[in-house]
Chain A
Amino acid sequence: MGFGAQGADGLYRRPMLEIRREHWLGMLAEAWARYPLEACGLLFGAGGGDSVERFVPIQNESKSSRIYRLEGSEYARAVLAADKDGLDIVGVMHSHTHTAAYPSPTDVAEASKPLVPPSWHWVIVSLGWGHPELHSYQIVDNGIVQEPVLLA
């Protein structure tokens, strides 16, 4: 298993995430809006891809400053609405309120669960250091690779 999406030629592309300025601002705004709880949301685009077309904030069902969980109706509604527009989940955003923008052991374990595609991008917004930081990762087979975030 390689990092980065696999192209039709069978080669793996360099891991990266392409988002628009509105997604960047939307994710930072959501992290601040939910503080001191963790925020979370979904990134949609062409299935298996690296490019974000839509960011949808989703309520953190855990209502916690340490963990997050997507399991409410908002989650299903966002996915079914994206289906109708031909979009699929390409990544997940969540915030860290007190720690660095780096995947925690829990993040890695959850990203490695069976129904989670290895192509997903994991965006973490940290509010822990007084200014927001946004980084993106691919997590495959318990390994973490940070990837460049390109502003389209």
Chain B
Amino acid sequence: MSTVSVRLPTVLRPAVNGQTSVEVAGATVGEVVDGLISKYPSLESNLVDDDGHVRKFVNVYVNDEDIRFLAQLATAVADGDEVAILPAVAGG
């Protein structure tokens, strides 16, 4: 079990008492996301869908690397890693 810092996007900060980032324990990104949601349940609908997948409008990074290009939620995290949750930004 590692402890990582999770950086939240502006829109979700009110759900974590206005903090920019919070410390969460877990061995994988999936466990970190679960830990985050158990601490702050109101985040759930904005982060994962009913099947437990990260929502399409959410980008999750571990130390600048998008987990879509790693092992998705199975991506391992180590003590001190920085997990960042950013809005997916796109258009035409």
Contact = CB atoms under 8 A, between A and B. Distances in A.
A89 B59 CA distance: 15
Contacts of B19: none
Contacts, number: 85
A23 interface: no
B59 A75 contact: yes
Interface size class of A (residues with CB under 8 A): 35 or more
A72 B11 CA distance: 21
Interface in A132-150: none
Instruction: Report the interface size class on chain B.
Output: 20 to 34
Given A72-B66, A80-B7, A113 B92 contact: no
Interface string A73-94: 1011101100100001100101
Closest 3 CB pairs of A and B: A106-B92, A115-B87, A107-B91
Interface of B: 7, 9-12, 20, 46, 57-59, 61, 64-66, 68, 82, 84, 86-92
Interface of A: 40, 47-48, 62, 66-73, 75-77, 79-80, 83, 88-89, 92, 94, 103-107, 110-111, 113-117, 122
